[in-house]
A and B are shown apart, each in its own frame.
Chain A
């Protein structure tokens, strides 16, 4: 393995949560998740030569991962995609015991809410929940900071309203 490849694997290992969050944010089906994870990793690896190491790896990785994920459902390639063989899964996720607590229930509700959003707003939401600054979100998405703030404010209002409605129904 060359120095460049080793560096790539190290950076990917350090940022594997981005891969997990994006894949989970855009796919419900486990086999789709593995296809998407594979597609993102291959795209990252092929584009790694163009990565400017003066910039943050996480910003670049978010851009690549989200661009691939958004295109995944829109592009015609989805119709001819091949399922990745089990031994080639790049992302292995150990089974976790559901805690079943209130926090987990709220998280499931949040995930359901994210699923309702279109590809771009879903990206915005994932970036926000992952704790990115508005400036970083704007840089990744290619929109202004003011636009990010306004869109997030609307999403928050809508979420609060839907959450309250669901609580009333329960």
Chain B
């Protein structure tokens, strides 16, 4: 059997399809379509929400820094947190721009390239956020206690305790990477945890890079494949 013969059968199905497919005019009403959203639209809105929340954090940290300018021990952790939030926001705004640049009416290879690059951007942001989490919690503790309750964590817990926590945070990173590489496939009951572990382990990024390579191969002149 040749593919051309099956193509003829496939095309012959068209008349039958006309009879069995019906578009639901109610679902197509403008009101319903306005309310509905696309996957990219939902992603854009969730990133926008993150950006707004981060801007709130940046403003609060700015206020904290200006209020404690004379106390370096509070200013430095606040600057570290501020820098992290600004970096995350810059990455998120980059993602929003990338989403706006995706026009599904453009050629498939072009758009799939953009979609994969966006996916890689998302994975990179998530990876660095997860990796830095154990390190930023000490500055967060110092700033939040001072800012919210007026409690000086240095005085309450002592510098050695804080340094020990920071060192523990540093030690946690390679352990988390090792655990993620070893057990990411065994936590399928929790899709979020599984994804976080795959991101930390680098397998999510690997899969995205494979997809990008596949796209490049598809795009390249066939003789090169």
Contacts and interface: CB of A to CB of B under 8 A. Distances in A.
B195 interface: yes
A90 B25 CA distance: 8
A67 B111 contact: yes
Interface in B64-117: 103-112, 115-116
Contacts of A139: 107
A53 interface: no
B221 A146 contact: yes
Contact of A47 (B13, B14, B29, B103): B103
A17 B17 contact: yes
Contact of A71 (B1, B5, B112, B191): B112
Contacts of B39: 39, 68, 71-72, 75, 77-78, 81
B197 to A, nearest CB: 14
Given A63-B106, A93-B21, A155 B3 contact: yes
Q: Size range of the interface on A?
A: 35 or more
Central interface residue in A16, A51, A67, A140, by most chain B CB within 10 Å: A67
Interface string A124-155: 00001111000000011111101100110011
B105 A50 contact: yes
A86 to B, nearest CB: 10
Q: Classify the secondary structure of B's interface with A.
A: helix
Contacts of A63: 104-108, 111
A107 B107 contact: no
Contact of B6 (A39, A79, A110, A119): A110
Central interface residue in B6, B110, B122, B219, by most chain A CB within 10 Å: B6
Given A43-B104, A106-B9, A107-B13, A70 B112 contact: yes
Given A74-B119, A91-B24, A107-B13, A156 B105 contact: no
Contact of B24 (A72, A89, A106, A128): A89
Central interface residue in B25, B105, B214, B215, by most chain A CB within 10 Å: B105
24 contacts: A9-B23, A42-B36, A45-B33, A50-B103, A63-B111, A67-B111, A68-B104, A74-B119, A77-B39, A79-B191, A88-B24, A94-B19, A103-B9, A107-B13, A119-B112, A120-B109, A120-B112, A129-B11, A140-B107, A141-B109, A143-B219, A151-B218, A155-B3, A167-B1
Interface of B: 1-3, 5-7, 9-11, 13-14, 16-30, 32-33, 36-43, 103-112, 115-116, 119, 122, 191, 195, 211, 214-215, 218-219, 221-223
Interface of A: 1-2, 5, 9, 12-13, 16-17, 20, 38-39, 41-43, 45-47, 50-51, 60, 63-64, 66-68, 70-72, 74-81, 87-94, 96, 103, 106-107, 110, 118-121, 123, 128-131, 139-144, 146-147, 150-151, 154-156, 159-160, 163, 167
